[in-house]
Amino acid sequence: MAASDWIAGARRAPSPNSDSRPSGTDISLAVLHSISLPRGTYRKAGGGSAIERLFTNRLDPAEHPSFADLAGLRVSSHFLIYRDGELVQFVPLGARAWHAGASRWRGRERCNDFSVGIELEGVDDGEFAAAQYACLRALFMKLQSVLPLRDLAAHSDVAPGRKSDPGTHFDWAHFLQQLARAA
């Protein structure tokens, strides 16, 4: 595993929910997601996280009634950005994280093969924090420096009708303006 597979400044929480990408695949897409567990509940600063436990197969389904449907689920993402801007990396960039599921982008199936998954702590019908936008901007710029990223899409774009995240409250115009100013 190359050092460039791990982004400097991200806390590492390795997930077993990943595998090898198809040989010769360019990582050209970043997919934005949102998640909170239980729904609408956010981590207290410095506290534990049900999201991290889910992505590392340590979530106890008996911990909360809403977790029953998550029993046995094996999912991950490359990154998670908490509301306070903390960045966690679960899967090295060279590996395929299990984040997009059945998906399609610009005529290509199986987005996990050629994408990086980025989760924002939040819900698809809620606002995101300024610290998250700032962290996401810095992360995306770092990713562009080490990967041939050409596209950025919402989970709802790659899995329409099945997924709605990060939702209508993600401020795409604001985020894209931040990226343009930083470039």
Cβ atoms of 94 and 146 closer than 8 Å: no
Report the Cα 68 to chain-centroid distance in Å. 22
d(CA 124, CA 66): 17
- Length of the chain measured in residues: 183
Whether the Cβ atoms of residue 98 and residue 113 lie closer than 8 Å to each other: no
Place of tokens 């997930």: 15
Instruction: Identify whether 119 is a catalytic site residue.
Output: yes
Read off the amino acid at residue 174.
Answer: H
Q: Phi/psi zone of residue 122: left (φ > 0), alpha (ψ -120 to 50 degrees), beta?
A: left
Tell me which of 109, 119, 121, 127 is the catalytic residue.
119
Active-site amino acid positions: 119
